[in-house]
Amino acid sequence: MKRFIDKVVIVTGAASGIGRATAIKFAQEGAKVVLADLSNLDSVKSEIPNPNSHIYIKCNIGERADVVNLIEITVKTYGRIDCAVNCAGIAGKVSKPVHEYPEEDWLNQIQINLIGTWYCVKFQLEQMMKQGGGNIVCVSSAAGLVGQPENSPYAASKHGVNGLVKSAAIEYATKNIRVNAICPTAVETPMIMHGRRKLAENPEALQQAINFQRMKRMGQPEEVADVALWLCSEQSSFITGHCMAVDGGAFA
């Protein structure tokens, strides 16, 4: 049985990785999906079921006006937002200790990952309050649960996302709005394979990432997407304010 028939779902970061997998899975389960990303969404459009039933919006979540536009177009088109999965985020370009980390890169990660996620949650909540409920899931990171040496801005931003999620969950717990986070470890996405750690080009670093997880393998975007859909479904109706590790047993 499809769980999201005619539900309206926003997915940010929908062009690749976890966001892409999440958008496709929601569409497979009958949702009307609003796919948002700063990158081109054409490749997702070619794969998603019923591509003309969805909306594709260019959006930089770090820009307030872009997020306002995303919400306004969604509500103008569909009249509501039933679920939102905030996947958009960036990783650092370098590995440096705190006192050496480039200021511009540090601030940019905070702007996108934390402030941008706050913009999304803020305006999603405003609409959900008007309509009487909804579900929000933020894709955080294992870096929001533990410190990460030489990756301080990313860890700080993701710890911030988890604090935002917990605070919002408490504030809206009696408003029929649930807010949760997912904290993945090493998932095989373009961000981790070709980003700061370049695991695709560094067999030693790749093996370290694999060994950190008790299952001794990388996670797949679809596995994280399944958790996002579950958290947005009525199957998790008594769960809010949870920052769920999706980690192959790494934190067991």
Give the C-alpha distances (Å, rounded to integers) separating 27 from 4, 33, 110: 8, 6, 31
CA angle 16, 17, 19 (to 5 degrees): 75
Amino acid letter, 14: A
The question of whether 154 is a catalytic residue gets the answer yes
Annotated catalytic residue within 56, 101, 119, 154: 154
For 35, what's the count of Cα atoms within 13 Å in the CB-facing half-sphere? 31
Long-range CB pairs of 202-207 (<8 Å, 24+ gap) are: none
Q: How many CB atoms lie within 10 A of CB 103?
A: 8
Contact predicate 213/186, CB 8 Å: yes
Amino acid letter, 143: A
Residue for token pair 């990388």: 218
- Alpha-carbon distance 23 to 45, whole Å? 10
Assigned token pair, 172: 């809206």
Cβ within 8 Å of residue 222, ≥6 positions away: 21, 25
Assigned token pair, 26: 């929601």
| Residues noted as catalytic | 154
